[in-house]
Structure 1
């Protein structure tokens, strides 16, 4: 079980999680920031020695959050993927299929340079900005 801190705001319950995530309980929404998938392959391609297992670890953390909290929607607050499409993209696409019934939205960040069509092909909506209210 993930530890977290419950925060109450405008009659809404937000569970602040150590994985840089917020569970908005009433909306059944998991909000994640700066996930930076693909950074392992990006740095390895640049000659920096990083264990390839780290990429799987990032997806495992996301899977654990979904499996534990059962959100209907995931909102990524920028920087979902670290840079260009690389070898980690395929693993991410397979992971997305595992959670195909979950709605996913990417609010673009400065590292989100992959063509929007690639995210749309994985049924991930892409937005420049978004306002959600209780």
Structure 2
């Protein structure tokens, strides 16, 4: 069982989780930022020794969060993948099929350079930002006038 800190804000219940995730209870939504999948293959391709098991570990953490909290929706607040499509993409596609009944949304971040159609083919919606009252979900900080 994951420990977390329950936080109430604007009549919404948010469970702040140690895996750098937020469970928005009323929306049955798991929110994650800066997951950076594919970083192991990216760094290994550049000659940096990274154990290949790290990629599987990242997906295992996501699976554990889903299995424990049973969200209907996952929202990735940018940087789902670290760089361009690489060998870790195939593992991610298989993982996505395991959770095909869950809605997934990517709010684009600065590292999200993979063609949008690749995400759409996996039934992952791609947005610049989202407004789900009372929150505005973005990857980058807003300018003061926004």
Paired residue secondary structure (1:86):
coil
- RMSD between aligned alpha carbons? 0.4
Query: 1:2 maps to what in 2?
Result: 2
Q: Which runs of 5+ in 2 are unaligned?
A: 134-146
Count of aligned pairs between the two proteins: 133
Deviation, 1:117, is 0.2
Q: Partners in 1 of 2:69 and 2:122 — Cα distance?
A: 22
Alignment of 1:107-118 (within 5 A): 107-118=107-118
- 1:39-70 C-alpha deviation (Å, 9 max, x unpaired): 00000000000000000000000000000000
Matched, 1:22 2:32: no
TM-score (norm 2): 0.90
- 1:59-108 C-alpha deviation (Å, 9 max, x unpaired): 00000000000000000000001100000000000000000000000000
Paired residue secondary structure (2:131):
coil
Q: Which runs of 5+ in 1 are unaligned?
A: none
TM-score (norm 1): 0.98
Q: Partners in 2 of 1:30 and 1:70 — Cα distance?
A: 9
Paired residue secondary structure (1:131):
strand
Q: Partners in 2 of 1:53 and 1:89 — Cα distance?
A: 14
